[in-house]
Each structure stands twice: as structure tokens, then as C-alpha cells.
Structure 1
């Protein structure tokens, strides 16, 4: 169990650094769209190597349509929206808004799977909405007296929506494929969908370091650690431990970039993370 906690914590820390590495790339003149593209492509190289070595390259042709949809929303739109959330709202802001995902899952489950709306689920959704409202109205960066812009807010919520697909569509595929096997096909499709919108720029060694870090450390290694941890811990506990991700992001963003929330903003963060924990606990 201790080993499981170590791997899950490692995954959360790696995920929490996505915004930090992305911000470093932005500072070197790389635009969000290009960061999203390289994240998909470089991470694909890692997963493809693992899949080939392990011999996990099979795919059921019947799954192709859903794989394409998952790739467009779970990779292309997710990576793009998250990068824009980081650039326009800050690393901590983007990480917190990512955790609106469970609220989306509750909504999907009600309308698509006809799951019952329990009191806990309703409270969780209300907490998420209240949390997003407080954060959006009280600022999420070093100029904490200003409201978050529309682009930042929509990008963050969109990222949370796309991330929720990993709980629904991703869960469906996890029964048939390993993560390496699944990402072997998802990532190149996602990268190709982003490619037409990318304007490539000259990259300094620091820019390449940031791009490689967000791909290898914050995506591939994070995913690898998380699934190793799941072998030692039940999914509920692992998910709760993983909520340390926005805490890591907030601390790193404050130390490196001076980003912070206002008093009410931190209450908004608490509302969102509380909603995540109680939703997971109910399951």
C-alpha cells in the first residue's frame, strides 16, 4: 500500500508541473497550439515504444469510430484548451479548473446512463459551480484583484469537460486495452488534428527542454506511475490522493511565477476539491 501511495503521489506531482513546464515554453515564444502539438507527438513516441516492446499493438476495428471521437476531444481539444487555460489564467488556475471533471461526469451519467442524482452528487455539482464562480470573480494570478478573463474561464472549463471523458470513454477502453496500447492510436490522431492550426517557431534549448518535460515527465511518466499505483491501491483512494495535483501546481506557480488566488479564490479551490473528494468517496 505504501508503494501505491508513493506512485500515485509521484503521478500527481508530475501532473501538477504541466502548467509550470508549459509556462516556460510560453516564455520562450512558443504558442499554446504548438505546445499542445509537441506534447501529443513526443508523448506518442514514449507510449509507442512501450507498446511495441510489450507487444500491445492490437486494435479492434469496431472501436475505431469511438477512438477517433475520444482522440479529438480527449487529446486534441483537451491539450489545446489546457494550454490556453495556463497561458491566460495561470498554471494554478488551469490545474484547479481541470478538477471540474467529476461534475461533468455526474451530468453525463444522469442524461446518458440515467444514473440517479443523489444528494451528494447534487451538492458536488453546486460546490463546483460555486468554486468556479469564486475563482473567476476574484482572480487567479499575481494580479489577484482582477477577474479571470472569458478565454481563461472557458478554456479551463473546456479542459475539465475533456478530462471527464477519461472517466467515461477512457474507462470503457481500459477494460480492453493497456494505456500504452490505447495511446498508441489516440495520440497520433490527436496530433494530426492539431497540426493544421500550428505555427512553428524557432525553439531555444530551454524551449525544447520545456516541451520534452511536459511530454515525458508530466504526461508519460505521470500516466505510468498512476497505473502502477492503481495495482497497489483501490481506484477510490488513488483518485483522492491524486487531488494533490492542483496543490502542487499552486505551490510551484506561487514560488516560480508569483501566481496566487485571493482569499475568496482559495475558498473556490476548496469547494472544487471538496466536491471531487465527496464524489469519489460516494463511489
Structure 2
């Protein structure tokens, strides 16, 4: 029964993460900027996590070095999220979601380089499947012709792979929800600074589009994060990561249902290859790293 609960929690998390970029499209239609939207998301998530951990008396700050690294991870996460949500402004959320799921194979590849591990057949297979799948989808899932948007979407998984490898090295002694709270707080502060420097924070637009802004913050922030880590606590990192690969499928379906458009057989084949490549990448990284899946402390990729 507990395993079923764990699977359900991770599925709910994948659905929440999967619909988030579609909700973001409606926020953009109200003129909400990326820094404004993401400040709301990470700010609310940080507050909920900190208050929840304090109420449960589980808020224990890690050592100074770990705090500094988690702060740096928040800055990296700020950059990754900015790339992801900027891509959603320009191309289909479905394509952005599929591009993001190159990250498990990239993590496996980067880990083999950083840790000087042998490049396994699993890593190579993961890379081939993922990139062939993207090639089948690229420019075909609505709005994929914007090369800047595609470049932004493709850069996001590379930055997230760096985030994960860094987190794997320093974060294993820190409880996941504590590290998530610290990463969220650091990311929120980064968006405050970014927004002030670029004059891109717009409270008025956020108030006009408060429904989708709240949707991104609550659904894609609080619900998605807490359900994932609750499910991971039951299933373990590897199984939770594999189940969470349902996320890009949810994004593809939500994009088609809400924003319109249909997928051809080749496009569905490409999406399936991306998901299979992600699963192979998760298992390859877990095998390299002592059964540790590519889930860095502090949030999921999108």
C-alpha cells in the first residue's frame, strides 16, 4: 500500500510539473515577465517549505560549506528556469518539455567525465535515443521553428545537468526538503536581483494575471515539489526519477488539449524515444553512482 502511495505521489508531481509550462503561457498573455513569474513560484515555494519544516521541527541548517554550495545551486537553478520559461515564451511548451528531458542522459555523460568513469553502453544508448527522439520532434511540434526558442530550450538541460552533478557531490548529507527550501530561497533572491537590475519585475502584470501566476506557484511549485519528495521518500530516488519521466508526456498532451494542435505518428515516436532515453539515462547514472538516481537536492528540473 505504501508503494502505491509513493507511485501516486510521484505521478501527481509529474502531472503538476507537466502542466506548469502550459499555465505559464496564460501568464505571459497577461504581460507577466519571466522574472516576475518565477519570483512568485520560488518565493511561495520557499515560504511554504520553510514554514512546513519549522512546524515539523525539521528545519536544520547544514554546515557553512553546504549552505554556500546550495546557494550557488539556487543561482544555477535560477538560470536554468529562466532558460526554460523563456523558451516557453517562444516555442511550444511540448517541445520545451521534451528538450528538457535530455538531462538524464547528459547527467550520465557528465558524471562519467567528472568522475572518470568508463563511458558505458547505457550512457551511449541514452544519448542516442534522446537525441534521435528530439530530431524527430524538432520543428514539428507546434512553434518549433523559432531557433532562439529552441536554443534556449536546449540549453536548459545542460545547465540542469551541471546543477545535478554539483548537488550529487555536496548534498547527500542534507535532507532533500531542507536543501529544496534553501535552493528555492536562493533562486527567489536571484530573481529579485535579476528583476531589479533589468527592471523586469512587474507587480501590476502579476496582479492582472494572478490566476495563472498562482497556478504556476502553487501547482508547479508547492504541489509538484512536495509530492515528488514525499513519493521519493517511499520509492527511492531511482524509481521516483523513472516514474517522473511521465512529465514530458503530460506536457505534450496538455499542450495539444489546451493550446491546440495534433501530433503525427513520427512525433509520438520521437516523444517516446525521449522518455525511453531519459529512463535509460536514469538507470545508467544510478549504475555509475552506486544506485543514486539523477535527482539533485533541491527540486526537479522544470
TM-score normalized by the length of structure 2: 0.83
Cα distance, 1:173 vs. partner?
Answer: 4.8
Cα distance, 1:232 vs. partner?
Answer: 2.4
- CA 1:242–1:24 in 2, change beyond 3 Å: closer, same or farther? same
Deviation per residue, 1:247-273 (Å, 9 max, x gap) = 111111111111444544333222211
Residue in structure 2 matching 1:180, options 177, 181, 188: 177
- CA 1:150–1:95 in 2, change beyond 3 Å: closer, same or farther? same
Cα distance, 1:127 vs. partner?
Answer: 1.9
Deviation per residue, 1:183-233 (Å, 9 max, x gap) = 332223222222344323323656212122212221222121112212322
SS in 2 for 1:244: helix
**Gap runs ≥5 in structure 1:** none
Cα distance, 1:118 vs. partner?
Answer: 1.1
Match of 1:32 in 2: 34
Structure 1 residues 63-82: aligned runs within 5 Å? 63-74=66-77, 76-82=78-84
SS in 1 for 2:234: coil
- CA 1:3–1:188 in 2, change beyond 3 Å: closer, same or farther? closer
Structure 1 residues 241-280: aligned runs within 5 Å? 241-280=243-282
Match of 1:90 in 2: 92
Residue in structure 2 matching 1:161, options 158, 163, 167: 158
Question: Do residues 54 (structure 1) and 56 (structure 2) align?
Answer: yes
On the 8 A contact 2:9/2:227 being kept in 1, the answer is yes
2: CA distance, partners of 1:256 / 1:108: 36
Cα distance, 1:45 vs. partner?
Answer: 1.4
Match of 2:298 in 1: none
Cα distance, 1:149 vs. partner?
Answer: 1.8
On the 8 A contact 1:22/1:211 being kept in 2, the answer is yes
2: CA distance, partners of 1:177 / 1:191: 20
1: CA distance, partners of 2:191 / 2:152: 16
2: CA distance, partners of 1:94 / 1:206: 26
2: CA distance, partners of 1:165 / 1:218: 22
Judge which range, 204-213 or 217-226, deviates more.
204-213
Question: Do residues 193 (structure 1) and 190 (structure 2) align?
Answer: yes
On the 8 A contact 1:11/1:225 being kept in 2, the answer is yes
Match of 1:43 in 2: 45
**Gap runs ≥5 in structure 2:** 288-302
1: CA distance, partners of 2:192 / 2:240: 34
SS in 1 for 2:31: coil
RMSD: 2.2
Structure 1 residues 232-247: aligned runs within 5 Å? 232-247=234-249
Cα distance, 1:166 vs. partner?
Answer: 5.4
- CA 1:214–1:125 in 2, change beyond 3 Å: closer, same or farther? same
2: CA distance, partners of 1:41 / 1:257: 28
Pairs aligned (count): 277
Residue in structure 2 matching 1:5, options 7, 16, 24: 7
Residue in structure 1 matching 2:24, options 22, 25, 28: 22
